[in-house]
Amino acid sequence: MNEVYQPRRYQKPIPVFWWLRRRSYFVFALRELSCLFVAWFIVFLLLLVAAIGAGPERYRQFLMWSATPWVLLLNFIALLFVTLHAVTWFNQIPQAIVLRLRGWRVPPIWIVAPMYLLWVVISTVAAWVVIGG
Partner 1 sequence: MMVNGEPKLGCATFLAEYAPGPVQIEPLSNFPIIRDLVVDIDDVMRKLVEVTPWIVREDDQPLKAGEYLQTPTELDEYQRYSMCINCMLCYSACPSYALDPAFIGPAAIAIAQRYNLDSRDQGSRERMDVLSAPAGVWACTSVGACTSVCPKGVDPAGAIQQYKLTSATEALKTLLWSRGTR
108 or 119, CB closer to partner 1? 108
Q: Which helix H or strand E contains 12, and what residues bound it?
A: none
15 or 132, CB closer to partner 1? 15
33 or 54, CB closer to partner 1? 33
26 or 65, CB closer to partner 1? 26
Please, what's the b/e burial string for 36-50 (b: 16 or more CB within 10 A of its CB; e: otherwise)?
ebeebeeebeeeeee
Q: Which residues bind partner 1 (CB under 8 A)?
A: 7, 9-12, 14, 18-19, 21-22, 24-25, 28, 32, 92, 95-98, 100, 103, 105
Q: How far is the CB of 61 from partner 1 (least distance, A)?
A: 41
- Distance between CA atoms of 113 and 121, rounded to whole angstroms? 12
Q: How far is the CB of 100 from partner 1 (least distance, A)?
A: 8
Q: Which helix H or strand E contains 122, and what residues bound it?
A: helix 108-127
**Ordered DSSP codes for 60-77:** HHHHHHHTSHHHHHHHHH
Q: How far is the CB of 56 from partner 1 (least distance, A)?
A: 45
